[in-house]
Amino acid sequence: MGKTKTKLIDDSLPQDQEVKKEAPKSKPKDELVEKLKAELGIGAEEPQRKPEPKTVTSSETKQKEEKKPAKQKTQAEKSKPRSKKYQEAVKDLDKSKTYPLTEAIELTKKFSYTKFNGTLEAHINTHHAGIRGLVSLPFATGKKLTILAFGKGADQSGADLVGDEATIEEVSKGKINFDLVVTTPEWMPKLAKVAKNLGPRGLMPNPKNGTITDDLKKAVGSFQAGKTEFKTESKAAVIHIGLGKLNQPTQELAANIKTLFMTIGKTKVKKLSLTPTMGPSVKVDLASI
- The verdict on residue 117 lying in a domain is yes
- Give the range of the structural domain holding residue 159, as residue numbers without chain letter: 144-226
Q: Which of 129, 111, 136, 130 is nearest to 121 (CA)?
A: 111
SS3 23: helix
Q: Which of 140, 188, 194, 142 is nearest to 172 (CA)?
A: 194
Nearest-angstrom CA–CA distance, 188 and 282 = 44
- The verdict on residue 68 lying in a domain is no
The phi and psi torsions of 215 (rounded to 5 degrees) equal: -110, 85
Q: Are residues 153 and 287 in the same domain?
A: no
End-to-end CA distance of the chain: 160
Cβ atoms of 128 and 233 within 8 Å: the answer is: no
Q: Which of 80, 100, 81 is nearest to 282 (CA)?
A: 100
Q: Are residues 213 and 244 in the same domain?
A: no
Q: Are residues 101 and 162 in the same domain?
A: no
- The verdict on residue 81 lying in a domain is no
Q: For residue 12, which amino acid is it?
A: S
Residue 202 sits in a domain whose CATH number is: 3.40.50.790
What's the CA angle centered on 135, arms 133 and 138, to 5 degrees?
Answer: 175
Q: Are residues 181 and 222 in the same domain?
A: yes
- The verdict on residue 59 lying in a domain is no
Q: Which residues of the chain are modeled with pLDDT < 50?
A: 1, 13, 15-21, 23, 75-76, 79
For residue 36, the model assigns a pLDDT of 65
The CB density around residue 226, as the number of other CB atoms within 10 Å, is: 18
Residue 282 sits in a domain whose CATH number is: 3.30.190.20
- The verdict on residue 37 lying in a domain is no
Select from 226, 261, 276 the last residue of a domain: 226
Select from 208, 226, 244 the last residue of a domain: 226
Q: Are residues 148 and 285 in the same domain?
A: no
Q: What is the pTM of this model?
A: 0.52
Q: Which of 80, 78, 91, 76 is nearest to 280 (CA)?
A: 91
State the total domains in the chain.
Answer: 2
Q: Are residues 238 and 116 in the same domain?
A: yes
Q: Are residues 118 and 244 in the same domain?
A: yes
Nearest-angstrom CA–CA distance, 271 and 283 = 8
- By residue count, the chain amounts to 289
